[in-house]
């Protein structure tokens, strides 16, 4: 998940950054290229000072040689050949050669073509002519040199461009090959790892499944594409999945869940599915990637654990409170019924006329028999209780309550009850029987949940809190938002066999109170101001802790 | 009606309770037959005599309440007196709604038990008498010819001989003869007697 999300902002640079970097790199390449080329290229003739000088001299000499014969025919011969020499020098030798050519031409023209001829002096009448020539020559040299310069720049630019293009092409080809290789390796990876992998279009249609997934489902890619993979989902999970997937696709957010998927063998197994959107820089979903993890065994173990937990919670409660007292009542009432009935029969036999003594004696014998049996039952029950009541020690009620709430979590979820636990951090330990005290707390919590069964439309909140109360005792309160206790019931609620529940025995609170009282504590109840009831009990703190903290 | 000794069936899985009940019932001059389970009771052949059932709620296999329903369904409405070591309100109301005579909690008092048993037997006796009467009327009705039956239903619906003659396309004399014979066969002393009898069988035989 993280790798996908962090990609646009973290690892890879921004688009503009890429541009800037490439440009910078390119620029360095170019300048390096340019310097290396200027260094490597051998100097041409026209590029050394001497060469330029010679070039100008030769060209001007050529112009002179060509122009001299013409002087015989025209008094003011065309000096265009000198201009040509200047321009050619500037073109091939650069500005410096052009200026040399101007200098030589000026000398030549002055000497040969400006009156007085064959002399460097200039007659006043020819001054304008001469200066016109010089200016024109300078201009020709400058124009030619700058034209040449721009032409060269252009050529160089074209060369560089070509070079750049060829380099880029090579780069691109190389990275293409690399990319293909990487893709091949990645594909290989998805096929090799023992995980089911899929991808989907932004709209949620499956477009790729790895071989593991196809093998499991026993289908080919075509049979899984689009929405056809839904056919492999358990019908009971279909709606749930559809909703989760549609929601994720609509929001473009990662999605996950547990669903049963049918394998090639027709059996359904539990899978944990997780899908992640690959997003573009601007946040739109480009593609979905997901994995399915087989959690069948885990899921089954979890279910078993959950069931066991619920069973244990239920069993311990039923056994500890209800079932035990029911079976005791049954065990004792049977022989008792026999005793009473035989007694009645005995009286009937005796009051007959004449009294049937034999039958009366038989009845009396049976009374003794069944009475003895009732005694045996009582003895057995006493033995049972003896086994339980024994160990007393330091008990941390915080620990006891926390254990209980873990225990009751599933029951609370099933009944849609939220349990709030508030335990004072400095709760001192009490002295007592841990199992018995846990039974009391369990009984109060279960009573609270039962009381909220009827309040279907109200929030069901069960609050248990424990704190130190004064120097010598702690107080544990259980508050529920249930139906509450009527005035009459609140007086009798701790009596044995009094119950307000249809399936209750009426022993829980009575036993709880006797347990608390045997610990030198007190258990009582009061109405909760916002509705419901509060049951609380106090217990004395261990003597050694009273002095330490009191 | 023949005078048959009433029988009280006891179904309880505890032998000491069963024996005690038998002892007490015997002491007050009643006949008790004992069963250890509902299945035992269902399998047994029961004499055709006024009877009632003292039934424990908590039994191995099929429980007491289920047995009560089963009997009602199979058209054997023996009145039931429930006994239980541990009864609660829903259990009691379910039993009473299904027609139980009484619901007693163990250990019960003698007078409560005997009163319940007496009431149950009385109820069964009444039921049996009513059933016997109905059976007799039915037998008589079945001895009528189709024509006599036709005439009978028209008579009890209040029509005159003349009207019936017109309706069935018979002469008035013939209607009179059929009517007289039907009265005779049904052993009706008067028209009112015939109407009463016809009401009892109406539901089943009138087409």
The domains of chain B, with CATH numbers, are 7-130 (3.40.50.2300), 143-205 (1.10.10.10)
How far apart are the CA of B89 and the nearest CA of chain A, in angstroms? Answer: 7
Give the whole-angstrom CA distance, residue B44 versus residue B37: 11
The ipTM, to two decimals, is 0.75
Judge contact between A480 and A452, C-beta under 8 A: yes
Percent of chain A topping pLDDT 70:
81
Instruction: Give the pLDDT confidence score for residue A497 in this predicted structure.
Output: 65
What does the block give as tokens for B1?
């009606």
How far apart are the CA of B57 and the nearest CA of chain A, in angstroms? Answer: 12
Instruction: Give the pLDDT confidence score for residue A193 in this predicted structure.
Output: 81
Instruction: Give the pLDDT confidence score for residue A437 in this predicted structure.
Output: 86
Mean pLDDT of chain A: 80
With CB atoms and an 8 Å threshold, state whether A341 touches B110. Answer: yes
Confidence of residue A221 (pLDDT cuts 50, 70, 90): confident
Percent of chain A topping pLDDT 90:
18
Per-residue pLDDT reduced to its tens digit, A46-80: 567 788 788 888 888 888 888 777 777 766 656 77
How far apart are the CA of B14 and the nearest CA of chain A, in angstroms? Answer: 7
B-proximal residues of A, 494-533, CB under 8 Å: 502-503
- A-chain residues within 8 Å CB-CB of B110? 340-341, 344
With CB atoms and an 8 Å threshold, state whether B27 touches A345. Answer: yes
Please name the residue of chain A whose CA is at the shortest distance from the CA of residue B111: A344
How far apart are the CA of A388 and the nearest CA of chain B, in angstroms? Answer: 25
- A-chain residues within 8 Å CB-CB of B85? 329-330, 333-334, 337
Q: Among candidates A255, A267, A264, which has minimal Cα distance to A292?
A: A255
B-proximal residues of A, 364-393, CB under 8 Å: 366, 369-370, 373
Instruction: Give the pLDDT confidence score for residue A189 in this predicted structure.
Output: 82
How far apart are the CA of A236 and the nearest CA of chain B, in angstroms? Answer: 36
Instruction: Give the pLDDT confidence score for residue B9 in this predicted structure.
Output: 95
3-state secondary structure of A466: strand
Number of Cβ pairs < 8 A linking chain A and chain B: 81
Find the helix or strand (DSSP H, E) in which B40 lies.
helix B38-43
Whether A359 and chain B come into contact, CB under 8 Å, resolves to yes
Give the whole-angstrom CA distance, residue A214 versus residue A234: 17
Residue A13 confidence (pLDDT) above 50: no
Mean of the pLDDT values across residues A462-477?
91
Mutate to test the interface with A, among B15, B24, B55 (most CBs of A within 10 A): B24
Q: Among candidates A329, A311, A337, A443, which has minimal Cα distance to A378?
A: A329
How far apart are the CA of A415 and the nearest CA of chain B, in angstroms? Answer: 23
3-state secondary structure of A61: helix
Give the whole-angstrom CA distance, residue A154 versus residue A521: 105
Q: Which residues of chain B have pLDDT under 50?
A: 1-2, 207
- A-chain residues within 8 Å CB-CB of B17? 334, 337-338, 341
Q: Which of A329, A337, A503 sits opposite B20 (nearest CB)?
A: A337
Whether A48 and chain B come into contact, CB under 8 Å, resolves to no
Instruction: Give the pLDDT confidence score for residue A35 in this predicted structure.
Output: 46
Q: Among candidates B192, B202, B197, B206, which has minimal Cα distance to B140?
A: B197
How far apart are the CA of A326 and the nearest CA of chain B, in angstroms? Answer: 7
- A-chain residues within 8 Å CB-CB of B89? 502
Give Rg (Cα) of chain A.
54
Mean pLDDT of chain B: 87
DSSP β-bridge partners for residue A465: A422, A477
Q: Which of A345, A359, A370 sits opposite B16 (nearest CB)?
A: A370
What does the block give as tokens for A394?
């330091």
With CB atoms and an 8 Å threshold, state whether B85 touches A348. Answer: no
Please name the residue of chain B whose CA is at the shortest distance from the CA of residue A355: B27
Confidence of residue A155 (pLDDT cuts 50, 70, 90): very high
Q: How far is CA B120 from CA A322, A418, B50, B89, B198, in A?
A: 34, 52, 9, 22, 29
Give Rg (Cα) of chain B.
24
Mean of the pLDDT values across residues A287-310?
81
pTM of the model: 0.39
Instruction: Give the pLDDT confidence score for residue A550 in this predicted structure.
Output: 40
């Amino acid at each position: 998940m993280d790798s996908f999300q962090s990609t646009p902002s973290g690892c890879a640079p921004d688009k503009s950054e890429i541009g800037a970097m490439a440009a910078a790199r390119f620029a360095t390449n170019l300048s390096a290229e340019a310097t290396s080329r200027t260094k490597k290229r051998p100097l041409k003739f026209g590029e050394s000072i001497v060469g330029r000088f010679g070039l100008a001299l030769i060209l001007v000499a050529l112009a002179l040689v060509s122009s001299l014969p013409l002087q015989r025919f025209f008094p003011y011969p065309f000096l265009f050949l000198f201009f040509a020499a200047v321009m050619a020098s500037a073109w091939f030798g650069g500005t410096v050669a052009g200026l040399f050519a101007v200098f030589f031409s000026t000398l030549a023209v002055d000497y040969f073509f400006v009156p007085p001829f064959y002399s460097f002096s200039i007659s006043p009448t020819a001054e304008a002519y001469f200066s016109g020539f010089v200016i024109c020559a300078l201009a020709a040299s400058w124009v030619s040199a700058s034209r040449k310069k721009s032409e060269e720049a252009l050529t160089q630019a074209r060369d560089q461009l070509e070079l750049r293009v060829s380099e880029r092409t090579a780069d691109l080809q190389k990275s293409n090959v690399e990319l293909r290789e990487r893709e091949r390796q990645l594909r290989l990876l998805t096929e090799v790892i023992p995980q089911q992998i899929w991808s989907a279009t932004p709209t949620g249609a499956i477009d790729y499944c790895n071989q593991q997934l196809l093998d499991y489902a026993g289908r080919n890619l075509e049979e899984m594409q689009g929405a056809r993979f839904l056919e492999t989902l358990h019908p009971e999970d279909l709606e749930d999945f559809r909703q989760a997937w549609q929601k994720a696709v609509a929001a473009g957010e990662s999605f996950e869940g547990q669903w049963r998927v049918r394998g090639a063998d027709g059996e359904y197994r539990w899978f944990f599915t997780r899908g992640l959107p690959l997003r573009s820089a601007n946040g739109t979903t480009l593609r979905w990637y997901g994995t399915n993890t087989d959690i069948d065994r885990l899921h089954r173990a979890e279910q078993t654990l959950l069931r066991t937990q619920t069973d244990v919670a239920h069993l311990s409660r039923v056994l500890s409170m209800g079932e035990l007292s029911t079976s005791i009542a049954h065990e004792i009432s049977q022989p008792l019924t026999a005793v009473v009935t035989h007694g009645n029969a005995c009286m009937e036999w005796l009051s007959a006329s004449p009294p049937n003594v034999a039958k009366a004696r038989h009845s009396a014998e049976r009374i003794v028999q069944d009475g003895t049996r009732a005694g045996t039952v009582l003895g057995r029950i006493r033995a049972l209780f003896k086994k339980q009541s024994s160990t007393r020690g330091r008990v941390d009620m915080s620990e006891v309550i926390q254990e209980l709430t873990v225990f009751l979590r599933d029951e609370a979820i099933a009944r849609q009850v939220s349990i709030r636990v508030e335990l004072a951090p400095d709760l001192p330990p009490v002295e007592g029987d841990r199992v018995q005290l846990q039974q009391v707390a369990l009984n109060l919590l279960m009573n609270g949940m039962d009381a909220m069964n009827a309040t279907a439309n109200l929030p069901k909140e069960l609050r248990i809190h424990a704190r130190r109360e004064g120097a010598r005792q702690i107080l544990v309160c259980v508050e529920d938002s249930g139906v509450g206790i009527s005035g009459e019931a609140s007086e009798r609620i701790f009596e044995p066999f009094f119950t307000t529940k249809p399936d209750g025995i009426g022993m829980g609170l009575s036993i709880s109170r006797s347990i608390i009282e045997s610990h030198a504590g007190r258990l009582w109840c009061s109405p909760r101001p916002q509705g419901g009831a509060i049951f609380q009990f106090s217990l004395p703190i261990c003597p050694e802790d009273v002095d330490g903290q009191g | 009606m023949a005078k048959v000794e009433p029988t009280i069936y006891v179904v309880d899985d505890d032998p000491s309770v069963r024996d005690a009940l038998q002892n007490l019932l015997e002491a007050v001059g009643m006949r008790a037959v004992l069963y250890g389970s509902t299945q035992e009771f269902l399998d047994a052949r029961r004499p055709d005599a006024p009877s009632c059932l003292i039934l424990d709620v908590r039994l191995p296999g099929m429980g007491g309440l289920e047995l009560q329903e089963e009997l009602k369904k199979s058209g054997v409405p023996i009145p039931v007196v429930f006994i239980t070591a541990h009864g609660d309100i829903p259990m009691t109301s379910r039993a009473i709604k299904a027609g139980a005579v009484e619901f007693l909690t163990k250990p019960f008092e003698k007078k409560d038990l005997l009163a319940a048993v007496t009431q149950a037997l009385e109820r069964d006796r009444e039921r049996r008498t009513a059933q016997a009467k109905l059976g007799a009327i039915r037998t008589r009705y079945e001895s009528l010819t189709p024509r006599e039956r036709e005439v009978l239903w028209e008579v009890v619906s209040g029509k005159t001989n003349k009207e019936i003659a017109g309706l069935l396309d018979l002469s008035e004399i013939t209607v009179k003869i059929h009517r007289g014979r039907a009265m005779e066969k049904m052993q009706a002393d008067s028209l009112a007697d015939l109407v009463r009898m016809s009401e009892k069988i109406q539901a089943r035989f009138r087409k």
